[in-house]
Amino acid sequence: MKTIKGPAIFLAQFMGDKAPFNSLASICKWAASLGYVGVQIPTWDPRCIDLKKAAESKTYCDEIKGTVESAGLKISELSTHLQGQLVAVHPAYNEMFDGFAPSSVHGNARARTEWAIEQVTMAAKASRNLGLNAHVTFSGALMWHTVYPWPQRPAGLVEDGFKELARRWKPILDVFDQNGIDLCYEIHPGEDLHDGITFERFWEATGKHKRCSILYDPSHFVLQQLDYLQYIDFYHTFIKMFHVKDAEFNPTGKSGVYGGYQGWVDRPGRFRSLGDGQVDFKSIFSKLAQYDYDGWAVLEWECCIKHPEQGAAEGAPFIKNHIIRVTEKAFDDFASAGANADLNKRVLGI
């Protein structure tokens, strides 16, 4: 068994215009002061990283690593959540998702998709230059508007949808393979990859691509009412990244899984800071340790009630206290009689 690395923190929700959140150097010092030992970097934020330069220059990546390491931290992974989302966008969402891309491609879905593919491809090369082995993104969605089928889906729609999604992603997965990086899709409502079945269908559509992997985040499964512990049993060989995020689900006679179009604070299903929700993290960390997960445990903060700085301060010790230092021996080794073939035969009566 292997010991999980961490605690680390995803910087996306903490970057801002005021110190210490306005530069990679200062936010790393802040994270280190809270007890974090790793940072996950959003590649769309120029205050953190220049993705194009990172893809082209090992020297620049060494400078980024130096900035992080000078604070006593390591880079856990890079993220292209926003760019990956734009690899596959249904036209109904075009205007809302244009904001994830530069203004030069707004109103031009084809150009926006090409930009997104180039961005995620660059992230593979940047990850290699940084000495990383996993990367996280979103799959995007062509079928999400049909998730609750009324009217019923036309025959073959889902098969065609996954075929097209795989067609777009397979060349990207090939680039990640060439660079030795696992591409981890965050399994997330709003994406075509939002549960176990949808991941399997996509993986099969890619020809069971060996770099097609999973970022595990139990909070999204609480909101779907999916068994997030058994999910690990099913998919542990694919899980190469882990977001530690809490959630709760408190349905009423007025609202359930779909939330009634309410804001997050009023929804039955909502994200919480670590320890304030319903996720059984003791069992999650135990299962991941049992299955030899040796990646990072990364805080992702999205609480609808608690201030982010309080959530971050509480998150580091929470994760640290849940990481299991795995045993190197069995508890009953003291009673071992050693290996003896003749003894074994006598015990077996043969």
Distances, alpha carbon 340 to alpha carbons 28, 332, 347, in Å:
55, 17, 11
Which residues of the chain are modeled with pLDDT < 70? 331, 334-335, 337
* Global pTM exceeds 0.85: yes
Instruction: Show me where the domains of the chain are located.
Output: 5-348
Q: In angstroms, rounded to a whole number, what is the distance separating the alpha carbons of residues 108 and 99?
A: 12
Cβ atoms of 32 and 313 within 8 Å: the answer is no
User: Which tokens belong to 249?
Assistant: 């689900």
Exposure string (b/e) for 319-346, b if CB count within 10 Å is 16 or more? beebbeeeeeeeeeeeeeeeeeeeeeee
Fold of the CATH domain 5-348? TIM Barrel (3.20.20)
Q: What gap in Å lies between CA 287 and CA 311, rounded to an integer? A: 25
Give the largest Cα separation in the chain, rounded. 79
Q: For position 336, what pLDDT does the model report?
A: 74
Q: Which two tokens stand for residue 208?
A: 């069971």
User: Sign of dihedral through CA atoms 176, 241, 299, 228?
Assistant: positive
What pLDDT does 15 receive? 98
Cβ(254)–Cβ(199) under 8 Å? no
| Assigned token pair, 164 | 């097209």
Q: Which residue has the tokens 């003896």?
A: 340
3-state SS, residue 148: coil
Which candidate, 138, 148, 33, 146, places its Cα nearest to that of 88? 138
CA 20 – CA 22 distance, rounded (Å): 6
